[in-house]
Every structure is written in C-alpha cells, then in structure tokens.
Amino acid sequence: MQVDELLQPFPIKEFHPFPRALLGPGSHELIGPEALKLGFKKTLIMTSGLRGSDIVHKISESMKYHGIDVVIYDKVESNPKDYNVMDAYEAFSEGECDGFVSIGGGSSHDTTKGARIVAAHDGRNVNEFQELNASETLDNPAHIAINTTVGTGSETTPAYVITDLSSPDAPHKWVGFDRAAITTLAINDPVLCMTQPPQFVAYTGFDTMAHASEAYVGRVQHLSCTPVALAAVRMVQENLREATYNPKNYKAMEGMVWAQYIAAQAFSSALLGILHSLSHAVCAYYDIHHGLNNGVGLPRV
Ligand SMILES: [Fe+2]
C-alpha cells in the first residue's frame, strides 16, 4: 500500500446534523418561551447542582413563570455513571414529565441523552446502547441543553459518554454516537459561563483544544470541519488564558464559548483521536476530570 493510501482511509465523508441553537448573552432567558414552543408541560431539569451559583434556581423559576411544572434531578456526577442515567429515567417516569432541560456541562447533557434513549425504550438499561446508532427509535422526549462550560460540545453533538459500573469490565467508559441522542435545542450563553470556577474554565478549555486539534489532524480530513477546527484552536490560544484568570472578561469568555461550540461541530463529522481514546479509559478508572486529563495528555499525543 502506498503512503498516500494509508493516510486517506476515509474516501466517503459523513456529515452529521446539528440541533437548532442559540448563542449569545441572555439566550438562557428564552428558556420559557422555547420550552412552550416544544409543548413542555412538566420538565425534568438535569444538573450536577452547580452549587455556588443560582443558575438552576433562576431557570426553574423562569419555566414556572411560563406555566411549566419542574422536577429537579441534581445528582449528576462527573464522568456520569450508568446509575445516574437510570435514576434520572425513574425521576422522569415517576414525575410524569414530558421533556428534559439539562443545565451544566458534558456530564449533565450526556446523562440526559442517555435517559431520553432509555425512556424511548421502556426503561431498558442504558448500557445496552453502546453501539453506533444503537437506538431502535428516534422518538425521544425533547431535550433543551443549556451549556455553562467551555469544553463539552455535547449540546450540539450526537455523542454521549457513560461509565458502566455493572459489567465485568467495569469501570468501563463507553461512547454512544447516536442520531437519537442529538438535542432538540442547544443554548450557549457566555454570561452563564462567567460563573465557573477558574480551574473548570482551564479544564474544559483544554477539552476544546483537544476536540479542535484531533478534528484538525485526524485522518478523516473533512473539508467542512478542518478549517473550523483550526479556527477553534486559534480562538482557544487567544482566549483561554484570559478566560481562566479573569472569568468576568466577557469578550474572552465569549471567544471560548464560540471555540467550544464550533470545535464540537468539527469533531462531530471529522471525529476524534488517540487522546480521547486514552482519556476515556484513564478517566473511567481514576474518575478524574476529562478536560484535565486531556490537558495533561495533549502535548504527548
Ligand atoms: Fe472531550
């Protein structure tokens, strides 16, 4: 085989769709009208709690103001576990909810994606859906993802990552890549990201750097993604340091929000690489932050 052939093993490129999205200051305040448009009457809010901020309280009050009932599941963990997904499904089902709102970063969005798929399959265990497009139906409860970090991208990708604690291989972190997991609406409000502790800006910012770098150098070489990935690398380089040490700098945080959002769209079709493969294994075993692990591994990979 010639070197050129080895370097181009993806002659057919796939284009994955993105959900409708809102990005900008104040966009999270549209939650009530947007949820009403989707027909929400009783919503399960999914979050890790975001303790130290009043974001969850403000959003739930805003939904109630628009006549929507709210149930809160605030036990999402970092590196979300299979039992987080199943507990959330129980809360959704027992609460007779009709839609999901996730508030936070990748852990909250990914747990919600899993719970929607479980809800669409009558409560089957989430670990049954590890394959590519494993869902047997696309008829899931609607999901609005309100993002508060600068790294996940989960609000716009078909991917979600769950830690299986029940199989003989446990702890085993698996990636679902499923068109049924795509959210219904993604909201990125830089003002919400300004409430993050500095170390989380740094951790999640390095996850964005990893998404952009892997989409840029990967073998897929998807022309709709590589220029976008490179732009995201530049935006991280220009904004991450300032956003970390001065999270109240709106311009820097907005730059990071754009970077994390477009980097995720780039990797949705250009895919990721060895860094994320290593990171999922290491983070499952040691239960450490995905972005922190990526920051440590990125220069070596
Ligand atoms: Fe990542």
pLDDT of residue 51: 79
pTM for this prediction: 0.95
What's the CA-to-centroid distance between 253 and ligand 1, angstroms?
Answer: 19
Q: How far out from the chain centre does Cα 271 lie?
A: 15
What's the CA-to-centroid distance between 96 and ligand 1, angstroms?
Answer: 33
Average pLDDT over residues 28-43: 98
One-letter amino acid for residue 122 of the chain: D
What's the CA-to-centroid distance between 7 and ligand 1, angstroms?
Answer: 24
What's the CA-to-centroid distance between 298 and ligand 1, angstroms?
Answer: 11
Q: How far apart are CA 261 and CA 161, in angstroms?
A: 18
What's the CA-to-centroid distance between 39 and ligand 1, angstroms?
Answer: 32
What's the CA-to-centroid distance between 42 and ligand 1, angstroms?
Answer: 31
Q: Is the pLDDT of residue 8 over 80?
A: no
What's the CA-to-centroid distance between 210 and ligand 1, angstroms?
Answer: 7
pLDDT of residue 2: 74
Three-point CA angle 97, 98, 102, nearest 5°:
85
Preceding peptide of 9 cis, ω within 30°? no
pLDDT of residue 293: 96
What's the CA-to-centroid distance between 36 and ligand 1, angstroms?
Answer: 32
Average pLDDT over residues 146-160: 96
Report the chain's mean pLDDT, rounded to a whole number.
Answer: 95
Which residue, chain included where needed, has tokens 């890790």?
48
> Would you tell me how many other CB atoms lie within 10 Å of the CB of residue 213?
23
Q: How far apart are CA 51 and CA 158, in angstroms?
A: 28
